[in-house]
């Protein structure tokens, strides 16, 4: 008896082993890293989006354009100053201010109205920003030079250090946001307003300004993503479109308003796509994101990374 089990057992082990050793581990490792890198950028974009939704129930269709605007400002400032980091900082601050101005001018007057009106408003803003960029910068894609070139050997590839830097910086920025929300004065305002807008007001928290602040933070984060990711793709007036769609998928899969969830979802979805690209073309690999979205909506509509509501 024992010997038949052990022979059966060892043949299972052999099959599994031969399958595993047949897998292209180097490709898998590379794709894992790629997935994490893309995932971190996506997390940066998505966390701004989910923050905005969580606190003021606004679905910001202009988020991709704020990303794009950040990238373009990065291009301009980089050309003027020659310094990538200066470009990054200036882009973030400028877009944050633009975001605040947009929120005050177009979204504040719409508070309390049908949510469809805010969706239309942000969609309108996205069209305006896209066409402005097209008009001002022209249809030819621009390039942002990464702050340093330099690669290291990763299996059979020469892998750029810059890509790792992006992941690291995104993690730092998101970590900073988390710390700000947890410990900062305004962080408490934001969290209180997200939980109970009415009581926050009754405690003297100026809720309209908190909304503006959150929108500005979200916009700034989108801009940072734009500048950081700029060197990897081209900077064009339509670059926001791909990203906003992915970001929305991430926000839904991660749970709307759930910051930790959207970060987890961003990495999860990016990894899925990265692994899928091993077998199919990247254009087709995008399908897995949509499959994830549909499955989430069917079975866990509040978000995959959200504890089941009681």
Partner 1 sequence: MSPPLTPLDPLIVLEDVHAFYGKSHVLHGVSLTVGPGEVVGLLGRNGVGKSTTLKAIMGLVPASRGRVLFGGRPITGLPAHRVARLGIAYVPEDRRIFRLLTVMENLRTGLDRQGVDEAKRKRLIDKVLEYFPVLGERRNQAGGTLSGGEQQMLAIARAMMLEPKIVLLDEPTEGLMPRMVSQIGTIIEVLHREGVAILLVEQNVPLTLASSRRVYFMEKGTVRHHAAAADLEVGDAVIHQYLGV
Which residue is it, tokens 């073309």? 281
Which residues within the stretch 204-233 sit at the binding site for partner 1 (CB under 8 A)? Answer: 204-208
Structural tokens at position 285: 């690999």
Rounded to the nearest angstrom, the gap between the alpha carbon of residue 53 and the centroid of all alpha carbons in its chain is 14
Name the residue nearer to partner 1 (CB basis): 207 or 266: 207
Name the residue nearer to partner 1 (CB basis): 24 or 206: 206
List the one residue from 116, 198, 283, 298 that touches partner 1 (CB under 8 A). 198
How far apart, in Å, are the Cα atoms of 257 and each of 46, 132, 152, 296?
Answer: 10, 30, 38, 16
List the one residue from 89, 93, 192, 245 that touches partner 1 (CB under 8 A). 192
- When asked if residue 104 is in the footprint of partner 1 (CB under 8 A), the reply is no
- When asked if residue 185 is in the footprint of partner 1 (CB under 8 A), the reply is yes
How far apart CA 290 and CA 249 sit, in angstroms, is 7
How far apart CA 270 and CA 14 sit, in angstroms, is 32
Least spacing, CB of residue 189 vs partner 1, in Å: 7
Least spacing, CB of residue 190 vs partner 1, in Å: 11
Name the residue nearer to partner 1 (CB basis): 208 or 234: 208
List the one residue from 195, 280, 295, 301 that touches partner 1 (CB under 8 A). 195
Name the residue nearer to partner 1 (CB basis): 119 or 188: 188
- When asked if residue 272 is in the footprint of partner 1 (CB under 8 A), the reply is no
Instruction: Count Cβ neighbours within 10 Å for each residue of 123-143 and write b for 16 or more, e otherwise.
Output: eebbeebbeebeeebeeeebe
Q: How many residues bind partner 1 (CB under 8 A)?
A: 18
Sequential DSSP letters for 239-261: HHHHHHHHHHHHHHHH-TT-HHH
List the one residue from 80, 111, 134, 203 that touches partner 1 (CB under 8 A). 203
Sequential DSSP letters for 109-176: GGTTS-HHHHHHHHHHHHHHHHHHHHHHH-SSPB----S---EEEETTEEEEHHHHHHHHHHHHHHHH
Instruction: Count Cβ neighbours within 10 Å for each residue of 214-249 and write b for 16 or more, e otherwise.
Output: bbbbbbbbbbbbbbbbbbeeebbbebbbebbebbbb
List the one residue from 36, 41, 78, 200 that touches partner 1 (CB under 8 A). 200
Least spacing, CB of residue 260 vs partner 1, in Å: 13
Name the residue nearer to partner 1 (CB basis): 89 or 192: 192
Interface segment toward partner 1; rule CB under 8 A; list 88-96, 130-138, 162-170, 189-197: 189-197
- When asked if residue 140 is in the footprint of partner 1 (CB under 8 A), the reply is no
Which residue is it, tokens 């979205």? 293
Name the residue nearer to partner 1 (CB basis): 56 or 129: 56
- When asked if residue 259 is in the footprint of partner 1 (CB under 8 A), the reply is no
Site of interaction with partner 1 (CB under 8 A): 185, 188-189, 191-192, 195-196, 198-208
């Amino acid at each position: 008896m024992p010997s038949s089990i052990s022979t059966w057992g060892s043949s299972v082990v052999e099959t599994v082993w031969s399958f595993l050793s047949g897998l292209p581990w180097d490709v898998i490792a590379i794709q894992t890293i790629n997935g994490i890198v893309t995932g971190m950028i996506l997390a940066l974009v998505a966390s701004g989006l989910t923050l905005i939704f969580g606190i003021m129930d606004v679905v910001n269709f202009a988020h991709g354009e704020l990303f794009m605007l950040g990238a373009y400002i990065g291009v301009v400032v980089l050309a003027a100053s020659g310094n990538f980091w200066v470009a990054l900082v200036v882009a973030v601050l400028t877009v944050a201010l633009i975001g605040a101005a947009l929120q005050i001018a177009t979204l504040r007057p719409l508070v309390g109205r049908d949510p469809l009106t805010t969706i239309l408003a942000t969609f309108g803003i996205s069209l305006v920003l896209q066409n402005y960029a097209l008009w001002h910068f022209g249809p030819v894609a621009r390039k942002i030079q990464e702050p340093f070139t330099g690669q290291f050997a990763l299996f059979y590839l020469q892998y750029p250090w810059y890509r790792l830097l992006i992941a690291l910086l995104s993690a730092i920025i998101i970590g900073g946001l988390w710390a700000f929300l947890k410990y900062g004065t305004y962080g408490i305002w934001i969290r209180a307003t997200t939980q109970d807008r009415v009581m926050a007001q009754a405690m003297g928290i100026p809720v309209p300004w908190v909304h503006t602040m959150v929108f500005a933070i979200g916009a700034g984060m989108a801009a940072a993503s734009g500048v950081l990711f700029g060197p990897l793709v081209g900077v064009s007036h339509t670059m926001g479109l791909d990203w906003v769609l992915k970001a929305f998928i991430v926000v839904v899969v991660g749970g709307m308003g759930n910051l930790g969830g959207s970060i987890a979802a961003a990495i999860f979805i990016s990894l899925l796509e990265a692994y899928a690209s091993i077998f199919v073309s990247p254009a087709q690999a995008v399908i897995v994101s949509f499959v994830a979205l549909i499955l989430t909506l069917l079975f866990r509509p509040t978000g995959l990374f959200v504890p089941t509501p009681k």
